[in-house]
């Protein structure tokens, strides 16, 4: 078994993946899908976070990057887990993190992006699930608007719906997905 297989099984074991071909589930876009992928629930488990971080580190190791982040709330645990893993991995990497707010704060410094980054930094945008690509591309636009160089994006699961991959790649991004919906539908839960 590979780490990818382990991660796909973790979705089942943590009840973070649901499949209902009859009723389906309403997505953020308003469309219906037979699949529900709950990465927030998955990332609530330390073993799952470590698997995500390990697979992401292995995928991103050849990429030149300074920081990673994405849209609140989902990207926070993903970016932090990857950053923490990379810091102690071999070879170690120091990848800082940031988070893109859904809207500018109306108090304090009024920032849209919080965290550690400088204009000119090479950034990877992370997201939990790719469907239409809307939330990922919103984070890319904000990061580029803040002067970051964004050439790569990473998602935990590509749902392979609503032409999301094509929309992301059309923005000049290399998309890395740790899993696809096919991995989740074919995975079997581990029984103890």
Residue 69 pLDDT exceeds 70 = yes
Position 84 scores a pLDDT of 97
Q: Which two tokens stand for residue 44?
A: 């609530």
Q: How many C-beta neighbours within 10 Å does residue 4 have? A: 14
Dist CA 184 CA 190 (whole Å): 13
pLDDT-derived band at 168 (thresholds 50, 70, 90) equals: very high
C-alpha of 85 from chain center? 15
E strand residue ranges, the chain: 17-19, 25-26, 32-33, 35-37, 67-71, 96-100, 113-115, 122-130, 149-158, 174-180
11-30 pLDDT per residue, tens = 999 999 998 889 989 887 78
Whole-model pTM?
0.92
- Mean pLDDT, residues 108-117: 76
How many Å is the Cα radius of gyration of the chain? 16
Contacts of 51 (CB under 8 A, 6+ apart): 3, 6, 7, 10
Whether the bond between 75 and the residue before it is cis, its omega within 30 degrees of 0, is no
CB 127, CB 135: distance < 8 Å: yes
Residue 108 pLDDT exceeds 80 = no
Residue 59 pLDDT exceeds 90 = yes
Residue 170 pLDDT exceeds 70 = yes
C-alpha of 147 from chain center? 21
Position 157 scores a pLDDT of 97
């Amino acid at each position: 078994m590979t780490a990818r297989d382990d991660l796909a099984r973790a979705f089942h074991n943590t009840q973070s993946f649901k499949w209902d071909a009859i009723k389906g589930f309403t997505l953020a876009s308003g469309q219906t899908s037979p699949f529900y992928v709950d990465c927030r629930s998955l990332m609530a488990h330390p073993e799952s976070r470590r698997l995500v971080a390990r697979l992401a580190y292995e995928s991103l190791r050849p990429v030149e990057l300074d920081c990673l982040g994405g849209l609140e709330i989902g990207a926070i645990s993903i970016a932090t887990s990857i950053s923490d893993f990379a810091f102690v991995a071999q070879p170690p990497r120091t990848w800082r993190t940031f988070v893109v707010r859904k809207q500018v704060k109306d108090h304090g410094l009024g920032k849209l992006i919080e965290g550690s980054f400088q204009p000119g930094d090479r950034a990877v945008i992370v997201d939990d699930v790719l469907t239409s690509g809307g939330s990922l591309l919103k984070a890319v636009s904000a990061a580029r608007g803040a002067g970051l160089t964004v050439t790569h994006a990473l998602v935990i699961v590509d749902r392979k719906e609503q032409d999301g991959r094509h929309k992301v790649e059309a923005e000049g991004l290399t998309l890395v997905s740790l899993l696809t919906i096919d991995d989740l539908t074919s995975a079997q839960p581990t029984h103890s």
